[in-house]
Structure 1
Amino acid sequence: MTERKPGALDGLKVVSMAEQYPGPFCTMHLSDMGADVIQVERPNGDPSRFLPSFYEGLNRNKRSVALDLLDPDQKAQLRGLIAKADVFLEGFRPGKLAKLGFSYEDLKSLHPTLIYVSISGFGQTGPYRMRPAHDLSFQGLGGALDERISGAVSGAPPAVLLGDSVSGLYAVNGILSALFARERTGKGTYVDIAMSDAVLALQTPFIAADAEEDAALPQRDPGYGLYETSDGRWLTTSIAHEDDFWDRLCQDIGLDDGVGLSRPERVARRDELTGRIAERIQRKPFAHWEELFGAAGQMWGPALTRAELAEDPQIQARELFDRITRGDGTVQRILRQPVKFSAYENAPLRRAPAIGENQGEGFD
């Protein structure tokens, strides 16, 4: 049996009260890399437990305690956990934990090296900070639903929960940066993560573009599209602006009069050219285009369904899928993180805990 490599974050102690998606997504990354994460759940559990597979996919490698913070003894238990933690993460609306005596200022005086992280919808400041919302509203405020940028169709919400996932990743970034700074200064800090801010941050190149670039960036090249083949499968071509790849595509699909068109000419005729590309690609099955585009070195790829992901040779080569045995003995397929270390482990090791399974364990 191969000996497990150490985790890059072995020894890091994290207490989290952030529920549902963003917080658990953040702490999943930390726990996969070796951090000891204790999820502090409400007595009836994280609300996302009503979707067992969803919950288990985000909460592997962690421990669970269930505490009622209206009970003085259980509040004391939480204080005891935080006293031994490097990081405390919460995901409530601004001010909720302060009413219970667990604000950053409350804990800072007792634990000056603590990294305290809040993930909320709109952040700790601003006129929207107390507004309730879910992912789609954060995408809207962050500019991700602008049709000129996203290509989204009005009225059709995107399936990817962008605000939830990217805010979790920014929280990881904030935690690791704060830990690095603590090594130099010996001081903890407060980290404020807003889901709407995180979505907006992804618009950086569009916000920074000057007027001429702003006019060009969102204009989709007809060589950048999603197309259906004759056997009902879908593929992408991802030519953003490259004239040589455009010419090659036209030659591959028999669109001879498209060869030599510049990007501005293509964009001006986008609807027409997109329709003609779609018509030609739909004449042949997926396997035909896979062989042709692969041999030609074209910018393309399969548009995989969720069921097809684990069978793709590139995904298999990257070893992204893994399996964990649940508490009931069934096997769950999960995804590994897309971060690979040569010297450290970064992998799921154990199933998600039952509510309060690790009550009373604390940190070593």
Structure 2
Amino acid sequence: MTANTALAGLRIVSMAEQFPGPLATMILSDMGADVIQVERPGTGDPSRFLTGFFEAMNRGKRSVALDIRKPEDKAELLALLQGADVFLEGFRPGKLARQGLGYDDLSALFPQLVYCSITGYGQTGPYRDRPGHDLTLQGIGGALEERLKGDVQGLPPSLLLGDNASGLFAVIGILSALRARDRTGQGTFVDISMSDSVTTLLASAVGMEGQDGDPPPQAEPAYDIFTCADGAWITLSIAHENAYWDRLCADLGLEDLIGMQRPARVSQRSPLRDRIAAVIATRTRRAWEPIMEAAGQMWGPVNHLADLPQDPHIRHRALLQEITRADGGTQWVVRQPIQFSAYANAPLRRAPALDEHRGARFADDMPPES
């Protein structure tokens, strides 16, 4: 591991599978934490059949396959935890406690251990024992309300909000618990609910619900996606700013709309958006770029995922990096986006083969950098 990383020396043992837990440990690994992924013998993480997904979420980690129902494997897990700072799991409430691996069990053995659990609904409440994937949790959390106003039979959202949000909140919870441990010397239990995480991201919308006042940015006619002459798309995101509106109208040749205030714009959203769209459709995206840039306008291209490696800003930020997988193929993966002035990100390495690090010393035997 690179020594000069923000989380150098931090060791995490994780039994969390599929998405939220692996996302959290991927972010922490990028910052330099040593992550040991405990997988199921024989099959490993259930997401291993999605090769690209698994590689993206688990690069740079180590793999040990253990069946905790076997005394010898449970003892091996406890030996790994002896030198760990964090234990992360994603089982339904009470499942690990029945194996003698609940928070009360492990904190008695390792009082400094931070124990984080990511579940669908948290450790308490009437839904705590329910199963559920992201779509169900988005629905309960309030994130699908817009779908009720349109085609509820359409494809589900491609952004897995519950998985992503709970992974991010797990990182926040773990780092907060570690900071508290620095003060007190005592670990703690971190309870992360996926449905809670969805609703938390909707805090501003919940605050506005049923309240009088200005409508949200989406009510503006120039807060939308527009099609250019070449079939490419751009976004305009004028949320409420009169100066940007006036500048846009001048650039589009819609001088009669200059000076229109937000209440009038919102009340006439549909016809105004149609007028903007008609002008945008007369030029290609490449032609609009210098016009929008010269005006300092709130605009941007709508990228396909395949476009991201070529986007000049994303390339400059080194957000994507190409890695070589264990099967010899290559793929782009996304780094965590936090950059430090005093610390480097850890080098990105391929995901481990199942049980690749069984019996390793967990010190200096990481697979070579790709």
State the TM-score bracket (shorter-chain normalisation): over 0.9
1:215 deviates by 5.4
What aligned pairs does 1:97-246 form with structure 2 within 5 A after superposition?
97-147=96-146, 154-156=152-154, 157-209=156-208, 212=211, 216-217=215-216, 220-246=219-245
What aligned pairs does 1:291-330 form with structure 2 within 5 A after superposition?
291-330=290-329
SS in 2 for 1:109: helix
2:281 aligned with 1:277, yes or no?
A: no
Indicate the residue corresponding to 1:79 in structure 2.
78
Amino acid paired to 2:95: K
Q: What is the alpha-carbon distance in structure 2 between the residues aligned to residue 137 and residue 90 of structure 1?
A: 20
Shifted more, 209-218 versus 90-99: the winner is: 209-218
SS in 2 for 1:40: strand
1:218 deviates by 6.1
1:210 deviates by 8.0
1:347 deviates by 3.6
Q: From the superposition, tell whether residues 349 and 310 of structure 1 become closer, same or farther in structure 2 (CA, over 3 Å).
A: closer
Amino acid paired to 1:34: G
SS in 2 for 1:96: coil
1:331 deviates by 2.4
SS in 1 for 2:96: helix
> Does structure 2 conserve the Cα–Cα contact (< 8 Å) formed by 1:230 and 1:282?
yes
SS in 2 for 1:344: coil
1:153-209 Cα shifts (integer Å, max 9, x gaps): 544322111111111111010011000000100100000001111111112223334
1:98-142 Cα shifts (integer Å, max 9, x gaps): 111111011111111110000011111111111111111222222
Q: From the superposition, tell whether residues 311 and 219 of structure 1 become closer, same or farther in structure 2 (CA, over 3 Å).
A: closer
Shifted more, 137-146 versus 184-193: the winner is: 137-146
1:220 deviates by 1.8
Q: From the superposition, tell whether residues 26 and 93 of structure 1 become closer, same or farther in structure 2 (CA, over 3 Å).
A: same
2:47 aligned with 1:39, yes or no?
A: no
> Does structure 2 conserve the Cα–Cα contact (< 8 Å) formed by 1:19 and 1:46?
yes
Q: What is the alpha-carbon distance in structure 2 between the residues aligned to residue 224 and residue 245 of structure 1?
A: 11
Q: From the superposition, tell whether residues 85 and 196 of structure 1 become closer, same or farther in structure 2 (CA, over 3 Å).
A: same
SS in 1 for 2:109: coil
Q: From the superposition, tell whether residues 201 and 34 of structure 1 become closer, same or farther in structure 2 (CA, over 3 Å).
A: same
Amino acid paired to 2:244: F
Q: From the superposition, tell whether residues 151 and 352 of structure 1 become closer, same or farther in structure 2 (CA, over 3 Å).
A: farther
2:242 aligned with 1:253, yes or no?
A: no
1:302 deviates by 0.5
Shifted more, 347-356 versus 167-176: the winner is: 347-356
1:214 deviates by 5.6
> Does structure 2 conserve the Cα–Cα contact (< 8 Å) formed by 1:23 and 1:90?
yes
1:217 deviates by 2.7
> Does structure 1 conserve the Cα–Cα contact (< 8 Å) formed by 2:217 and 2:223?
no
Amino acid paired to 1:46: D
> Does structure 1 conserve the Cα–Cα contact (< 8 Å) formed by 2:36 and 2:62?
yes
1:256 deviates by 2.7
Q: What is the alpha-carbon distance in structure 2 between the residues aligned to residue 219 and residue 20 of structure 1?
A: 33
1:276 deviates by 1.8
Q: What is the alpha-carbon distance in structure 1 between the residues aligned to residue 76 and residue 3 of structure 2?
A: 33
TM norm structure 2? 0.93
1:95 deviates by 1.2
Q: From the superposition, tell whether residues 119 and 362 of structure 1 become closer, same or farther in structure 2 (CA, over 3 Å).
A: farther
TM norm structure 1? 0.94
Indicate the residue corresponding to 1:67 in structure 2.
66
Indicate the residue corresponding to 2:366 in structure 1.
none
What aligned pairs does 1:353-364 form with structure 2 within 5 A after superposition?
353-361=352-360, 363-364=362-363
Q: What is the alpha-carbon distance in structure 1 between the residues aligned to residue 59 and residue 274 of structure 2?
A: 45
Q: From the superposition, tell whether residues 214 and 90 of structure 1 become closer, same or farther in structure 2 (CA, over 3 Å).
A: farther
> Does structure 1 conserve the Cα–Cα contact (< 8 Å) formed by 2:61 and 2:352?
yes
> Does structure 2 conserve the Cα–Cα contact (< 8 Å) formed by 1:237 and 1:299?
yes
Q: What is the alpha-carbon distance in structure 1 between the residues aligned to residue 13 and residue 132 of structure 2?
A: 25
Unaligned runs of 5+ in 2: 364-370
Q: From the superposition, tell whether residues 129 and 347 of structure 1 become closer, same or farther in structure 2 (CA, over 3 Å).
A: same
> Does structure 2 conserve the Cα–Cα contact (< 8 Å) formed by 1:60 and 1:348?
no
Give 1:14's match in structure 2, choosing from 12, 15, 24.
12
Q: From the superposition, tell whether residues 337 and 151 of structure 1 become closer, same or farther in structure 2 (CA, over 3 Å).
A: farther
1:218-272 Cα shifts (integer Å, max 9, x gaps): 6521110001111010000000001111111112222233222111111111111
**Count of residue correspondences:** 361
Q: What is the alpha-carbon distance in structure 2 between the residues aligned to residue 65 and residue 93 of structure 1?
A: 22
> Does structure 1 conserve the Cα–Cα contact (< 8 Å) formed by 2:217 and 2:240?
no
Amino acid paired to 2:281: Q
> Does structure 2 conserve the Cα–Cα contact (< 8 Å) formed by 1:220 and 1:267?
yes
Q: From the superposition, tell whether residues 147 and 248 of structure 1 become closer, same or farther in structure 2 (CA, over 3 Å).
A: same
Q: From the superposition, tell whether residues 63 and 315 of structure 1 become closer, same or farther in structure 2 (CA, over 3 Å).
A: same
